[in-house]
Structure 1
Amino acid sequence: MKTNFTIILIAFLFFSCKTEKKAATTKVATIVINTLPPDHDFNKDIYISGDFEGWSGGKTEFKLERKDKTYSITLPKQQKTINFKFTLGNWDSVETDLNGEMMENRSYTFSEISETVTFAVQNWASQKTAQGISTKQPNVETFEENFNIPQLNRTRKISVYLPPNYEASTKSYPVLYMHDGQNVFDKATSYSGEWEVDETLNKLHQTHGLDLIVIAIDNSENRMQEYTAWENKEFGKSEGKQYVDFIANTLKPAIDKKYRTKSDSKNTAIMGSSMGGLISQYAVFQYPNVFGKAGIFSPSFWFSDKIIPFTKSRIAKAKNSKLYYVMGEKEGGNMVIDMQKIIHILETNNFSKTNLNSKFAPNGTHSEAFWRSEFEEAILWLFSENIQQKNIDLKPMMKEVTTAKLASGKLMRAVDFPSNYVKPRTVEVWLPTNYSATKKYNVVYMHDGQNLFDATTTWNNQEWKIDETAAKLMNEGKVHDFIVVAIYSAPGLRWQDYFPQKAFGYMNATTQEEIRATSKKNNFSLEFNGDDYLKFLTEELKPYIDQTFATKTEREHTFIAGSSMGGLISMYAICEYPEIFGGTACLSTHWIGMMPVEDNPFPTAIFEYMEENLPSPATHKFYFDYGTKTLDQHYIQYAEKIDVIFRKKGYTSENYKNLVFEGADHSEISWQKRLHIPFTFLLKAPNGH
C-alpha cells in the first residue's frame, strides 16, 4: 500500500528530484531536466533563473546545455540554498504546473559533496497563458510606464493602488512602497504568482476601515544590483544606494505631488521580500525620516555580512521606526539564523519592543504564495493606528466582462469572491441573450470556471463552449432557460477543494495513516477543503446569486456540474446537499482520486461513501460519462460498479445515465462535443420553454 501510494502521489505531482552524489574538490550541483512536456520544442533553449542571479528570467550564462532530450547545467556552490525556476528565456515562458497555473519556486540546498539533481518540467507558459486573465483590481492604475530614474540613468514602470473611497473622498492617505511591482497586484504580469495586495486591501477597507495608497515599483534585469547597498564579489557591484535614493528623493516627491498622501515618515512604509527585504532593511535604517515603517519578508541577509554592523550603527537613528519581520522555517540555508541575528541585535541594543514584530512560520517557503499569506497580518500590525472599524460584511463586485469572446449572451465577473470558508476565487455568471430580470431562470453551477467560455484565456487554449451549447439548446426549445455560474478553481488547491472529503474516512486507519505519511514526505497537502468548498457554494455563493439574478431557487431548478475532479465534487455536492441540488452532470469523473495504480484505495472509499449517501431517486438526477482514451481509459473498469450502486438505490434510465464515448479523451474538446447531452438530460423541456 505505501509503495503504491507513493507512486500515485509522485505521478500526480509529476515532479522528480533525484540525486547522484560524487566526490569533487569544488562543491557543485549539476542540474538536469530529464522530463519535459510532450509538446516541448527541443529547438528552444532552457534557462535556470533564481535568487542567485537576480531572477532575471534568463541570462546567457545560466542557459542549460542540451544533449538529445536532456538539459543540464553545473552550478558552483554560492549560497547554501538557492530558489529558482526554469524558463525558456523570459518570464512569459516560465514553467507551470500541468494546468498552466503558476507554481511555487523550486529550491535546492547544496550538499557537502557535489551531486547531480534531476527535475521534471510539467508545462511551459506561453505568452497567452502567462498573461491570462488580469487579476488587477479596478482601483489599480499606472502612474507612469517609463518613470525616469536619474540616479541610475534608466526607467521603470510604477503602478498605484488607490483605496476604494479615494475618488469620493478628500482625505489624505498613508503610503506603502513595494518592490518587485510585477508581483504585487496582477497574476498576469507576475512570474511566480502575485501577492494579491489590491484584493487584500479592498477587503480590509471593508472589514477594518484601513485605507492605504500602494506604490509598486517594477524590478528589472538589474534587480540583484538594485536591491543591495553592498557589493558581493559573486554578483558584482551594488546599486541599492542609488535605488533607495531614487525612491526617497525622486519618486516619493512625485507621488506626494499627484496624490493626496500623508507624507510624513509615520505614514510612509516600505516593503519587500528576499532581496527586496534586504533593500527595505537598508531603506528604513538609512532614511528613517522618510520611511517610518518596514515590512521585511524573507530577507536575503546572507548577501552581505555588512548588514549587521550597518543595522547596529543605525539603531539610534531609527529608534521610532516600526519593523515587521517574517521568515519561513522551510526557506533553507541560513535564512532563519541570519534573521534571528538581526532580531537579536535590535533586541539587545534598546530598540523599542513595541515597534518590533518578528514571525517565524513553521511551514513558510521562499515564495510569493507564502508572502501573500502573510501580507494581511503584516499590514494590520504596521498600520494598526489607521484601523477605523471592524467586521463589516463583504459584498463582491460583479461587473460585465466586455472583453470576453462569447458566441452568445454576456458574462459577469466578480474577481476574488470573498468567503469565510475557502480561498477567494473568481466567479463568473453567464446570462443568455434573452435574459430578463422579469422572468426566472434555472441555474447550473460549474467548477473550473476559467475553462468554460473563452479559449483565448485558458491555459491550454481549449474551452467547453458553454455559451454556444446553452444558447443553441434554449433557442431550439430543447431545455428550460438557464444561467451558468462558473467558479474558478484556486491555484494549488484544486485537488484539496474537489476531493469528496468524507470519502477519505471510509478507508481504514492504517491506510489513512500511510497516505498521510507519504503525502507529508512528498510535501503534498492532504488538508481537505471539500466540505468548506461546498459550504462556500451553498451558504455564500448561492444566496448571493439568488439575490443578484433572476433565478428559480428551488432544488428542482438548481444543478451542479464538472469534469474529472470537478465531477467528483459535483457528485459529492448533491449527496451532501440533496435539499439544494436536484441534479448533477459528472463528465469523465475521476474515480481513481489521483493517478492510476494497482490496489488504489480511493475508488473503493468513494463507492462506499456513495452507497450510504446517495439521495432519493424520486427527486434527483445523476449524469456520468467517460471516454476511452488518455486518462479516461482508467475509468472504464468502474462503470459496472457504479451502475450496480445506482440500481440498488432505485435509479432508472429516467434519472440516471452512465455513458461511454468511444475514442473520447480527457479534455475540454471532448467535453464540449457531448455537453448538449447532460444539459438536455437535466434541463429537458419536452413542451418548449
Structure 2
Amino acid sequence: MKSIFTFVPFKKETKMYWGWAEIEMTITEKNITINSELLNREVTCTLLMPDEEELTEPLSLLLLNDGQELGNLELRATLEQLYSTNRIKPLLVAAIHAGEDRIQEYGIAGKPDFKKRGSKADIYTEFIVTELLPQIKAQTGISDFETTAYAGFSLGGLSAFDIAWNNADVFDKVGVFSGSFWWRGKDLAKGYTDADRIMHSVIKSTAEKPDLKFWLQTGTKDETTDRNKNGIIDAIDDTIDLIKALEDKGYTRPADIQYVEVVGGSHDTATWAKAMPKFLSWAFGR
C-alpha cells in the first residue's frame, strides 16, 4: 500500500495551568494526504496535537468525521480553552475530510438506506481501520493511545457510531452530534415503521455487548419533522429510542451513556461547536 503525505505545519502557543504552575503548550497542526487504495481517492486528514516534547502524560486519540469543518467548529479555540483550564488530558485530533462521495461513504456498513445511500460505508470502515489508523500511528510514532474515541456530525455521526460499534476492540468511546438515526430501510410512503430504522435494528440484533461508552447530542431545533405526530421532533425521538435500545442491551445512564439536548440548538456547526466542550470533557476529562 502506497501513501503520500503532505505536511503543512502550524504552531500556536497556549498556556496551561497545573495547580499554581504555568506551563506553555504548543499545538501543532499537520495536514496528511493519504492515497487510499480502498476508497480510490486521496483523503486529507488534519492532525491537531500538543508538541511531543511538552507531553508529560499519555496521549489519547479522537477521530472526527467531516474534518473539513474544523474552522466552523472552532475546535482549535475550544482545545486551547480546555487545555488552559486543565479540563482535558492531551489528545491527538485526527479530522478526516469528507470527499465528494460522502453520502455513499458514510452510513451503516453493509446496510444502505432505502435510497441505496451508504453503499460504500463498509469500504470506509475498512479504510479507517486498515489504512488511516496505521498511517496515523506511523506518522506520530505513537502505537498505543490511552483512550481512542470517534465522533461525527449528522450522517458523519451515524458513521462514527457504526464504525465504533463494529470495532469495539479499537475504540473506547463514541460521540454523535445530531446523528442521522432516522437512517431507514423503507420509504415513509411505503409502509415504514420504527422497526425500519437501521441502526436501532443493528443494536438489537447484535449478540454481544460491545465495550463502549456513548455521548449523544440533539438540538430542539434540529429539524421540524414529526413522523408520529407526538409533538417531539424526529431527531430527538430517534436518539431517545436509540438510547432505549442501548439500555435494553445492558448499558446504563450515566455510566455508559451521556445525552445532551441543546435548547434552541440547530442542525449546524454553530450548535455543535457549543456542545463540543461538553463532549471533549466527557471523553478526555480529568
**Class of the TM-score when normalised by the shorter of the 2 chains:** 0.7 to 0.9
CA shift in 2, pair 1:153/1:198, >3 Å: same
Query: What is residue 229 of structure 2 aligned with on the other side?
Result: none
1:219 matches 2:107: no
Rounded Cα–Cα distance in structure 1 between residues aligned with 2:207 and 2:281 = 24
Query: What is residue 330 of structure 1 aligned with on the other side?
Result: 221
1:267 matches 2:154: no
* Aligned residue runs from structure 1 range 567-606, under 5 A: none
For 2:59, which of 152, 161, 173 is the aligned residue? Answer: 173
Secondary structure, aligned partner of 1:317? coil
Shift of residue 235, structure 1, vs aligned partner: 5.0
The unaligned stretches of length 5 or more in structure 1 are 1-135, 187-193, 388-689
Shift of residue 317, structure 1, vs aligned partner: 3.5
Rounded Cα–Cα distance in structure 2 between residues aligned with 1:247 and 1:201 = 24
Give the letter for the 2:256 counterpart. N
Question: Does the CA contact (< 8 Å) of 2:73 and 2:269 recur in 1?
Answer: yes
Question: Does the CA contact (< 8 Å) of 2:31 and 2:45 recur in 1?
Answer: yes
Give the letter for the 2:55 counterpart. S
For 2:257, which of 356, 360, 369 is the aligned residue? Answer: 356
1:307 matches 2:199: yes
Query: What is residue 343 of structure 1 aligned with on the other side?
Result: 243
* Cα RMSD after superposing both structures: 2.0
For 2:136, which of 234, 249, 255 is the aligned residue? Answer: 255
CA shift in 2, pair 1:137/1:297, >3 Å: farther
Shift of residue 352, structure 1, vs aligned partner: 3.5
Give the letter for the 2:222 counterpart. E
Question: Does the CA contact (< 8 Å) of 2:28 and 2:48 recur in 1?
Answer: yes
Query: What is residue 207 of structure 1 aligned with on the other side?
Result: 85
CA deviations over 1:554-579 (Å, ceiling 9, x no partner):
xxxxxxxxxxxxxxxxxxxxxxxxxx
Shift of residue 197, structure 1, vs aligned partner: 1.4
Rounded Cα–Cα distance in structure 2 between residues aligned with 1:149 and 1:355 = 34
* Aligned residue runs from structure 1 range 26-425, under 5 A: 138=12, 139-145=27-33, 147-163=34-50, 165-169=51-55, 171-184=57-70, 186=71, 194-208=72-86, 210-229=89-108, 230-234=111-115, 236=117, 238-261=119-142, 263=144, 267-304=147-184, 305-314=197-206, 316-318=208-210, 320-332=211-223, 333=225, 334-353=234-253, 354-384=255-285, 387=286
Give the letter for the 2:38 counterpart. Q
Question: Does the CA contact (< 8 Å) of 1:296 and 1:324 recur in 2?
Answer: yes
Secondary structure, aligned partner of 2:42? strand
CA shift in 2, pair 1:294/1:383, >3 Å: same
Question: Does the CA contact (< 8 Å) of 1:244 and 1:283 recur in 2?
Answer: yes
Aligned length: 238
Give the letter for the 2:155 counterpart. M
Shift of residue 315, structure 1, vs aligned partner: 7.2
Question: Does the CA contact (< 8 Å) of 1:174 and 1:213 recur in 2?
Answer: yes
Which is worse superposed, 203-212 or 355-364?
203-212
TM-score (norm 1): 0.33
Give the letter for the 1:221 counterpart. E
Shift of residue 344, structure 1, vs aligned partner: 0.8
Question: Does the CA contact (< 8 Å) of 1:204 and 1:210 recur in 2?
Answer: no
Question: Does the CA contact (< 8 Å) of 1:175 and 1:261 recur in 2?
Answer: no
Query: What is residue 521 of structure 1 aligned with on the other side?
Result: none
Question: Does the CA contact (< 8 Å) of 1:308 and 1:342 recur in 2?
Answer: yes
Secondary structure, aligned partner of 1:311? helix
Percentage of identical aligned residues = 27
Give the letter for the 1:220 counterpart. G
Structure with the bigger RCO (C-alpha within 8 Å, sep 6+) is: 2
Secondary structure, aligned partner of 2:174? strand
Secondary structure, aligned partner of 2:135? helix
CA deviations over 1:512-563 (Å, ceiling 9, x no partner):
xxxxxxxxxxxxxxxxxxxxxxxxxxxxxxxxxxxxxxxxxxxxxxxxxxxx
CA deviations over 1:377-410 (Å, ceiling 9, x no partner):
11101123xx2xxxxxxxxxxxxxxxxxxxxxxx
Rounded Cα–Cα distance in structure 2 between residues aligned with 1:312 and 1:357 = 19
Rounded Cα–Cα distance in structure 1 between residues aligned with 2:176 and 2:276 = 11
Shift of residue 170, structure 1, vs aligned partner: 6.3
Rounded Cα–Cα distance in structure 2 between residues aligned with 1:241 and 1:278 = 13
Secondary structure, aligned partner of 2:245? helix
The structure where strand makes up a greater share of residues is 2
CA deviations over 1:108-128 (Å, ceiling 9, x no partner):
xxxxxxxxxxxxxxxxxxxxx
CA shift in 2, pair 1:237/1:366, >3 Å: closer
CA shift in 2, pair 1:160/1:345, >3 Å: same
CA shift in 2, pair 1:171/1:383, >3 Å: closer
CA shift in 2, pair 1:236/1:296, >3 Å: closer
Give the letter for the 1:346 counterpart. L
CA shift in 2, pair 1:158/1:250, >3 Å: same
Secondary structure, aligned partner of 1:282? helix
CA deviations over 1:400-426 (Å, ceiling 9, x no partner):
xxxxxxxxxxxxxxxxxxxxxxxxxxx
Question: Does the CA contact (< 8 Å) of 1:179 and 1:276 recur in 2?
Answer: yes
Shift of residue 348, structure 1, vs aligned partner: 2.5
CA shift in 2, pair 1:363/1:338, >3 Å: same
CA shift in 2, pair 1:233/1:360, >3 Å: same
CA shift in 2, pair 1:197/1:137, >3 Å: farther
Shift of residue 274, structure 1, vs aligned partner: 0.2
Rounded Cα–Cα distance in structure 1 between residues aligned with 2:11 and 2:153 = 22
Rounded Cα–Cα distance in structure 2 between residues aligned with 1:155 and 1:228 = 20
Question: Does the CA contact (< 8 Å) of 1:328 and 1:366 recur in 2?
Answer: yes
Rounded Cα–Cα distance in structure 1 between residues aligned with 2:39 and 2:117 = 16
Shift of residue 210, structure 1, vs aligned partner: 2.4
Rounded Cα–Cα distance in structure 2 between residues aligned with 1:371 and 1:281 = 16
TM-score (norm 2): 0.77
Question: Does the CA contact (< 8 Å) of 1:141 and 1:159 recur in 2?
Answer: yes
CA deviations over 1:463-493 (Å, ceiling 9, x no partner):
xxxxxxxxxxxxxxxxxxxxxxxxxxxxxxx
